[in-house]
Structure 1
Amino acid sequence: MKHTVVRLALVTLVATLLAGVPATSASAGTATTATTAERGSRVITRTVEFQVVNTNATRVACEADQQAYRVRARIVGPRREVLSPDAPRINVLVHGLATGSWFWNLRSKRSFDYATQLARRGETSVVIDRLGYGASTLPNGDDTCLGAQADMLHQIVQKLYSGLYVYPGRPGIDPPKAQHVVLHGHGVGAAIAQVESATFQDVDGLVLMSWADAGSSQRAVEEARQTSQLCATGDDYARYGQTNREFRELLFATAPAGVQRKAARLHAANPCGDALSLSQMLAGSEALADEIKEPVLLMYGGKDVLIRDGAAQDQADSYSAAESVTLRTIAGAGSALPLERTAGKTQRQVVRWLRSTFN
Structure 2
Amino acid sequence: MSVSTLLTRAAHRSAAAAALAAACALTAPAAASAQPPRPAAVTCTQVSVPLADPAGDGAVVRGELCRPPQANDTVQVLLSGLTYDSRYWTQPPAPGQPSYTADAHARGFTTLTLDRLGTGRSSRPPADQVTFTTDVDSVHQTVTRLRTGLAGHTFTHIVLVGHSYGAGEALAESSLHDDVTAVVLSGFAHAAGPKGDAILPAMIPAAQDPVLAPTDPPDGYLTTRQGSRADLFYAPADAAPDTITRDELTKSTMTTGQRDSLSDPYAPDLAARQKAPVLIALGSADALVCGGPYLACSSPEEIRTFERYLFTGDNRLDAYVLPGAGHSINLHRNASAWHTRSADWIEDVTG
Please give the TM-score of this superposition, normalised by the length of structure 1: 0.78
Encode CA deviations 1:105-143: one digit per residue, 9 max, x unaligned.
126956242112210111111000000011113142222
Q: Which residue of 2 aligns with 1:242?
A: 225
Partner of 2:180: 203
Question: What residue ranges of structure 1 are gaps of 5+ in the alignment?
Answer: 1-16, 56-64, 82-86, 166-173
Please list, as runs of the form range in 1=range in 2, the aligned pairs for 1:294-309 lying within 5 A after superposition.
294-309=276-291
Residue equivalent to 1:279:
263
Report the equivalent of 2:348.
Answer: 356
1:296–1:322 CA contact under 8 A, matched in 2: no
Match of 1:190 among 159, 167, 183: 167
Show the counterpart of 1:38: 39
Aligned to 1:171: none
- Identity, % of aligned positions: 24
Moved more, 249-258 or 184-193: 249-258
The aligned residue for residue 51 of structure 2 is 52
Q: What SS does the corresponding residue of 1:115 show, helix, strand or coil?
A: helix
- The aligned residue for residue 5 of structure 2 is none
Deviation of 1:71 after TM superposition, in Å, equals 0.8
User: 8 Å contact 2:183–2:279 — kept in the other structure?
Assistant: yes
1:261 aligns with 245
Q: Which runs of 4+ in 1 moved over 6 A?
A: none
Instruction: From the superposition, tell whether residues 19 and 319 of structure 1 become closer, same or farther in structure 2 (CA, over 3 Å).
Output: closer
Computed over aligned residues only, the root mean square deviation of the Cα atoms, in angstroms, reads 2.6
Question: What whole-Å deviation, never above 9, does each CA across 1:306-328 have from its counterpart, x for those lacking one?
Answer: 01334334224422214211111
Question: Which of 306, 315, 323 is the matching residue for 1:323?
Answer: 315
Aligned to 2:193: 217
Residue of structure 2 in register with 1:67 after alignment: 57
Select which of 127, 150, 158 maps to 1:141: 127
Aligned to 2:116: 130
SS in 2 for 1:273: helix
| Preserved CA contact (<8 Å) 1:71 1:128 | yes
- The alpha-carbon deviation at position 76 of structure 1 amounts to 2.1
Residue 299 of structure 2 corresponds to none
* Letter aligned with residue 53 of structure 1: A
Q: Decide which moves more: 104-113 or 327-336.
A: 104-113
Number of residue equivalences: 308
- Is the deviation greater in 310-319 or in 45-54? 310-319
Going from structure 1 to structure 2, the CA distance change for 1:29 and 1:179 (only over 3 Å counts) comes to: farther
User: What SS class does the counterpart of residue 275 from structure 2 fall into?
Assistant: coil
In structure 1, the partner of 2:213 is none
What does residue 254 of structure 2 align with? 270
- The alpha-carbon distance between structure 1 residues 29 and 44, as it changes in their structure 2 partners (threshold 3 A), is farther
Matched residue SS, 1:238: strand
